Chains A and B, each alone.
Chain A
Amino acid sequence: MGARASCAQRVLGEADMAALAVAGGRRCCRWVPALMWERPCRLQHQQAAAESDLPIEMENPYEEPPKRCILCGINVDYKNVQLLSQFVSPYTGRIYGRHITGLCNKKQKEISKAIKRAHILGFMPVMFKNPSFLTDPKICNVKY
């Protein structure tokens, strides 16, 4: 058996020597260990020259625009009691959590701070929602 391996990775190990010993006298060997199977192998210097089948690098053309919460771009003010009351329970006056309002981190914090400020400064009632704002459109995922 002449030298078979063309790839640099192939090294003649003990198994190969054993195989050679077994197939010693015979010219045509049927049992070939998997290591000795000839597989198409492209060397590094050949790969670059081959036709570039690789994908062209570009930005994801199907990328969606970043998701925006309902308050994205709206300035939150402690004086705007009607807006703040939309994120408050009508029965207890408690501020709804993030999983209910669906706001992003920043806006939830801003609303929370504004509501507390409005409470202290006497703009918004604490234990209930102002009755004149009860018929406002529902923003939060609350089921009454």
Chain B
Amino acid sequence: DEQYELASPETAAVLKRTVEALMERGAIVRNLENLGERALPYKISKHNHRHRRGGYFLVDLEGPPSIVSTMMDHLGRDIDIIRRAFIKYPVSKTEECSGIVPVNCEDKLIPKKK
């Protein structure tokens, strides 16, 4: 996720820069989502400027793990990006949820000998 300053043409320029940088390092960009623009939950000071509003974007990408450190470095130098992060793609496992399993207290009481 990245958070940008206001003004649409600048925002578009930043996004374009970022996606190009990603593709340059060999990542495949699958999707780019705009999570909206709103007031930040708390004021963030970055690059000598106290930010109060920001736009949230989510980039869906596939790539080698070696990109992460280089990209974090690259995005850190971009003044228009307030906060950057790489998150593992969430795997939705909720279909197997079988409810609360009753704990067998007897087994827990007796220490297991390995």
Name the A residues within 8 Å of B44 (CB-CB). Answer: 122
Q: Is A68 engaged at the interface, CB distance under 8 Å to the other chain?
A: yes
Contact A75 B42 (CB under 8 A): no
Q: How far is the CA of A77 from the CA of B35 in the complex (A)?
A: 14
Tell me how far the C-beta of B5 lies from the nearest C-beta in chain A, rounded to whole angstroms. 14
Q: Is B40 engaged at the interface, CB distance under 8 Å to the other chain?
A: yes
Main secondary structure of the interface of B (DSSP, over half): mixed
Binds B, one of A1-9, A51-59, A123-131: A123-131
B36-68 Cβ-contact flags toward A at 8 Å (1 or 0): 000011101000000000101010000000000
Contact B40 A122 (CB under 8 A): yes
Task: Give the size range of A's interface with the partner.
Answer: 20 to 34
Which of B41, B82, B94, B99 gathers the greatest number of chain A CB atoms within 10 Å?
A: B41
Task: Choose one: A66, A117, A122; the contact of B3 (CB below 8 Å).
Answer: A122
Q: A65-B99, A66-B100, A79-B35 are in contact. Are A126 and B92 (CB under 8 A)?
A: no
Contact A74 B94 (CB under 8 A): yes
On A, residues with C-beta under 8 Å from B are 65-69, 72-75, 77, 79, 104, 106, 117, 120-127, 130
Q: How many residues of B contact A (CB 8 A)?
A: 24
Q: Is B101 engaged at the interface, CB distance under 8 Å to the other chain?
A: yes
Q: How far is the CA of A130 from the CA of B39 in the complex (A)?
A: 11
Contact B94 A122 (CB under 8 A): no
B71-103 Cβ-contact flags toward A at 8 Å (1 or 0): 000000000001101010010101101111110
Q: How far is the CA of A123 from the CA of B39 in the complex (A)?
A: 10
**What 10 additional pairs, Cβ within 8 angstroms, besides A69-B99, A74-B94, A122-B41?**
A65-B99, A66-B98, A66-B102, A69-B100, A73-B97, A75-B92, A120-B85, A122-B83, A124-B41, A127-B42
Q: A79-B35, A122-B40 are in contact. Are A73 and B100 (CB under 8 A)?
A: no
Tell me how far the C-beta of A133 lies from the nearest C-beta in chain B, rounded to whole angstroms. 12
Contact A125 B99 (CB under 8 A): no
Name the A residues within 8 Å of B100 (CB-CB). Answer: 66-69, 72, 104
